Amino acid sequence: MKYDFDTPVERRGTDSAKWGVYPEKVIPMWVADMDFVSAVPIVHALHRRSDHGVFGYSRPSHDLKELIRDRVKRLYNWDIAAPDILFLPGIVTGLNIAFQAFAAEGEGVLAQPPVYFHFLRDPVFHGRILQDPPLVRNGNTYEIDFDLFERAITETTKLFVLCNPHNPVGRVFTKEELERIADICLRHELIICSDEIHCDLIYSPFRHIPIATLSPEVEASTVTLMSPSKTFNIAGLGCGYALIRNPRLRKYWNKVIYGIIPHVNIMGYAATEAGLREGGDWLDQVLTYLRANRDYVSDFIGKKMPSIRISDVEATYLAWLDCTEMGIEGSPARYFREKAHVALSDGEDFGKNYEKFVRLNFACPRKVLDEALNRMASAINCI
C-alpha cells in the first residue's frame, strides 16, 4: 500500500515527550522519533493484542527469534543462535548494562564525541572513568583519528562503546574503519559494545556492517545492540535486543540484569514481530521520504542559511549543524527556540566543545520541516 507521510499527525495532547515539553507555538525537532504513523501491519498487530483483552506476563515467541536470526543472516550474512538474542526494554538500558557488566567502578569506558549523551554521562554517573577522544572533522564529514583513539586507552580501559550508524554526525563507518577499531580493541583486550539502533536507516550507496561480523575474534569480544524502535517508529513500545555470541559475555550480562531489568512488554513484542515480518514496504517508503527530506535540509541550508555548516548525512534522520559562524552569543539551540520557535537538540549534550552545534530531526512531514527551516532562516536574518 501507499503510505502518506505528508499529512501532519497531531501529537500534542498524546503525552509525547517530543511535543509535550514546549509551548504550542514551538515546532519540536529534537527527540529522535518520527512524526509518522507506523506501518499498518504493526498497528493491526497491536489492535489484535488489545482486542484479546488479557495483558499478562509475556515472552518472545519462537517466530520472533527466528525473524531476527533470518534478518541478520539475510542482511549481514551473520549466523546467530536463539540463545544469543537477549531482549531489552530499550537500547539505553543495554548501554548501561554494558557499563555495569564489563567495567568496574574506577575503570575506563571509551567513547568518541560528539555522540549521544548516554555514551558520555551514564558511565560517569555509575563511577566509571570516561575516556573521550573526539572524532575529527574532515570537510563535511567526521573521521576517526586512530592515533588519538589508541593513545586514549589506558590500563584501566575495559570497554569501548561504538555508535554505528552514528548519532549525531550521520556516519556509516566503512569496513576499513571498523577493522582498525577492532584491531586496536583486540590488542588492548577491550570489550566492544556497538549501538547499531539506526542500522536500518541508511541511504544508498552506504551499507551497514555490524562490527561483530568482521571475524570470530571480534565477534567473541562484541555486544551488538539493535532495535526496531527507530526502524519502524515504535520507540515508545520499548523493545530491543543484544546479540551476544560469547557465552562468557552473556554470563556477565545476565548477572547484571538479574532481578533488576524488566522484561519487554507484550505490546513491544507484538509490534517488533509485526514490523520484522511485514514492515518492509513501509520502511522502503519512509527511507525514500527521509532521503528527500535530508536533501531538502541540505539544499535549504546551503542557499538560505550559509552561515550554518551541515555534516553529510549517510544514515539516520538527524542533521548535525555547526552554527559557529552565525555570530551569536550563547547557545544556538536557545536562540532558535526563543527567536524562531523551533526546538533543536543542544550540541553541548553531545560532548564538550560542541556548544555551538545543534541536532535537527527531519523525520516529519515536509510542510512542518519547511516551516521550521524558514523560521530559522528568518531568525538568522535578524542577527
pLDDT digits (tens, 9 = 90+) for 160-187: 999 999 999 999 999 999 999 999 999 9
Residue 143 included in any domain: yes
Mean local confidence (pLDDT), 41-59: 96
116 vs 130: CA distance, rounded Å: 14
Q: Is 250 exposed, middle or buried (0-12, 13-18, 19+ CB in 10 A)?
A: middle
Q: How far apart are CA 214 and CA 89, in angstroms?
A: 27
The residue from 277, 298, 319 where one domain ends is 277
Give the amino acid at 376.
M
Q: Where among 245, 277, 309 does a domain terminate?
A: 277
* DSSP H or E segment with residue 81: none
Domain total of the chain? 2
382 confidence band (pLDDT: 50, 70, 90):
confident
pLDDT score, position 381: 85
pLDDT score, position 31: 97
Range of the structural domain that residue 61 is part of: 55-277
* Cα 208 from Cα 357, distance rounded (Å): 26
E strand or H helix at 123: helix 118-125
- Cβ contacts of residue 120 below 8 Å, gap of 6+? 111, 113, 130, 132, 350, 351
- Kindly report the CATH number assigned to the domain that includes residue 154: 3.40.640.10
Q: Whole-number mean pLDDT of the chain?
A: 97
Q: How many CA atoms lie within 13 A of 40 on its CB side?
A: 6
pLDDT in tens, 231-289: 999 999 999 999 999 999 999 999 999 999 999 999 999 999 999 999 999 999 999 99
Both 107 and 244 in a single domain? yes
What's the rounded Cα separation, in Å, for the pair 364 and 349?
23
Residues 153 and 111 in one domain: yes
- Same domain for 357 and 251? no
Please report, for the domain that includes residue 352, its CATH number. 3.90.1150.10
* Mean pLDDT on 126-140: 97
Contact 126, 256 (CB under 8 A): no
Q: Nearest Cα to 44, choosing from 278, 233, 281?
A: 278
Strand partners, 7: none
Residue 18 lies in a domain: no
Q: What's the sign of the alpha-carbon dihedral 69, 74, 76, 79?
A: positive
**What pLDDT score was predicted for residue 383?**
72
Proportion of the chain above pLDDT 90, given as a percent: 99
CA nearest 227: which of 245, 244, 242? 242
The answer on 294 and 256 residing in a single domain is no
Task: Quote the CA–CA distance of 255 and 261 in Å, as a whole number.
Answer: 11
Run of H or E including 99:
helix 91-102
Residues 218 and 343 occupy one common structural domain: no
Is 14's pLDDT higher than 90? yes
Do 160 and 260 lie in one domain? The reply is: yes
Same domain, 252 and 303: no
Q: Do 267 and 300 share a domain, yes or no? A: no
